[in-house]
Amino acid sequence: MTSRSTFVPACSAHDVVRVYGRGDAEVRALDGVSVAFERGRFTAIMGPSGSGKSTLMHALAGLDGVDSGRVVLHGDGRREDVEISAASDAVLTGLRRDRIGFVFQAFNLLPVLTARDNVLLPMRLAGTRPSQEWFDEVTGRLGLSARLDHLPHEMSGGQQQRVAVARALLPQPDVIFADEPTGNLDSQSGAEVLSMLRSSARETGQTVVMVTHDPVAASYSDRVVLLADGRPAGEIAHPTTDTVIDTMRALNVTGAAVAAR
Ligand SMILES: Nc1ncnc2c1ncn2[C@@H]1O[C@H](COP(=O)(O)OP(=O)(O)OP(=O)(O)O)[C@@H](O)[C@H]1O
């Protein structure tokens, strides 16, 4: 892992508000959230059910809009900063193709395509292709080299999710958003996928932001950002399963912000 003294953001939210419904049915899913996600780090978003985790991730990824505040995808010198919250649909489509990767709970592989073609599909749609060296490195690291000609139904859930991770990593997006990526996996397969996400951050500087309910999954991250009732509620640096369980318990009991640890 590289040591670094300054926090360089890959994406950030600034006083973001997202309201669903009106009148008595109004829910402030995000109620003034300001948070930044560090480049080259693996960050988990946690909080009680209904605390706004998915809403925040969707806003950061440009999958859903916000009512006020700003969401920014930060450039890196090569690429420009983009205000996601003010971007047109055309710009957002381009960002999702070139600069943002996704890993979902449901693997979302195309059933008629082999692992190789699933992994390559987003780049093919964008009219580009990875170098053979990078393709071999990513699929090798994910343990997929012997599976590349298999169809999804010929692979286990863990292998399918590793294909989905390879597909997200290959274009080297600014940020990969992972939404409960181990929710459909047994603990062994989940551990493999989480190790891959962690090593992609540590070894290749890939920024990963993951929503999870699972303290074990969160313990693979470098930092946990906590939400409660649509507001930031503290964070945990270098989380362990135990510190996450303790902090979540306190959050569920009090619903209040906890001190950064
Ligand atoms: N499309 C919607 N319409 C109305 N309310 C919504 C909508 N989406 C989310 N909400 C509400 O916004 C709040 C935040 O929801 P969100 O899904 O972001 O929470 P979460 O922390 O991801 O929850 P969970 O852990 O249960 O998935 C909840 O009260 C939810 O009911």
pLDDT in tens, 114-138: 999 999 999 999 899 999 999 999 9
Inform me whether the pLDDT recorded for 83 exceeds 80.
yes
Q: How does DSSP assign 108-133, residue by residue? A: ---TTS-HHHHHHHHHHHTT----HH
pLDDT band of residue 77 (cuts 50, 70, 90) is confident
**Better-scored residue on pLDDT, 254 or 184:** 184
What's the rounded mean pLDDT across residues 186-209?
A: 93
Determine, yes or no, domain membership for 1. Answer: no
pLDDT in tens, 154-167: 999 999 999 999 99
CA of 218 to the centre of ligand 1 (A): 20
CA of 21 to the centre of ligand 1 (A): 11
Tell which one of 24, 51, 177 to mutate to probe ligand 1, the residue whose CB is within 8 A of the most ligand atoms: 51
Here the CATH number for the domain that contains residue 43 is 3.40.50.300
Determine, yes or no, domain membership for 239. Answer: yes
Q: Is 217 helix (H, G, I), strand (E, B) or coil?
A: helix
Determine, yes or no, domain membership for 66. Answer: yes
Q: Whose CA is nearest to atom 18 of ligand 1?
A: 52
- Pocket lining for ligand 1, CB < 6 angstroms: 20-21, 27, 29, 47, 49-55
State the residue range of the domain holding 44. Answer: 9-254
Average pLDDT score, the chain: 92
Inform me whether the pLDDT recorded for 72 exceeds 60.
yes
pLDDT reported for residue 261:
43
What ipTM is given for this predicted complex?
A: 0.97
Which atom of ligand 1 approaches the CA of 30 most closely? 14
Tell which one of 30, 33, 54 to mutate to probe ligand 1, the residue whose CB is within 8 A of the most ligand atoms: 54
Determine, yes or no, domain membership for 78. Answer: yes
Determine, yes or no, domain membership for 127. Answer: yes
pLDDT in tens, 22-44: 998 999 999 999 999 999 999 99
pLDDT reported for residue 3:
54
Determine, yes or no, domain membership for 91. Answer: yes
Determine, yes or no, domain membership for 3. Answer: no
Domain count, the chain: 1
Whether residue 128 contacts residue 172, with contact meaning beta carbons closer than 8 Å, is answered with no
Whether residue 148 contacts residue 138, with contact meaning beta carbons closer than 8 Å, is answered with no
CA of 27 to the centre of ligand 1 (A): 9
Q: Whose CA is nearest to atom 23 of ligand 1?
A: 50
CA of 28 to the centre of ligand 1 (A): 9
Determine, yes or no, domain membership for 240. Answer: yes
Going from the C-alpha of 185 to that of each of 26, 109, 191, the distances in angstroms are 35, 15, 9
Inform me whether the pLDDT recorded for 230 exceeds 90.
yes
Tell which one of 17, 53, 57, 177 to mutate to probe ligand 1, the residue whose CB is within 8 A of the most ligand atoms: 53
